[in-house]
Amino acid sequence: MAGSENTNAGVEQFFGCIPAPLGKLAASLRAIVKTAAPQAREEIKWGFPCYTQNSMLCYIRPAKAHLTFGFYKGASLTDPENLLEGTGKGLRHVKIRRSGDIRANIFSRWIREAVELNEREKEAKKC
């Protein structure tokens, strides 16, 4: 993130406590988010790291044997490979179990799309 105003000590502690091998995978996802959305705010919400920029973007949630990398407006994201899981109104996610599950180019595109969706939503509310 672009400076300490976009993160907090709780987030650092959270990532530092994720056991191997998931900790390394979580660090990789975090780096992808920071690169794709450098203005996004990173904070702990609902017990896991969430990223916001004008509205909710994505989250990283550890489970016992995988990480869930979720998108609040995932149902609106371009997903020609059908990687996103979920059937709710908006939320979608991918499960990350090993480094090969991290698709940096696709994930970066989804993050940028989520930022654009939030920006359009913000502009539409101005009218």
CATH number of the domain enclosing 72? 3.90.1150.200
Q: What residue numbers bound the domain in which 105 lies?
A: 4-126
pTM given for the model? 0.91
40 pLDDT exceeds 80? yes
Would you say 62 and 18 are in contact if contact means Cβ atoms under 8 Å apart?
yes
Given this model, what pLDDT does residue 9 score? 82
Instruction: Provide the residue type at 56 as one letter.
Output: M
Given this model, what pLDDT does residue 1 score? 40
Angstrom distance (rounded) from CA 121 to CA 111: 15
Using DSSP's 3-state secondary structure scheme, residue 32 falls into helix
Total domains present in the chain: 1
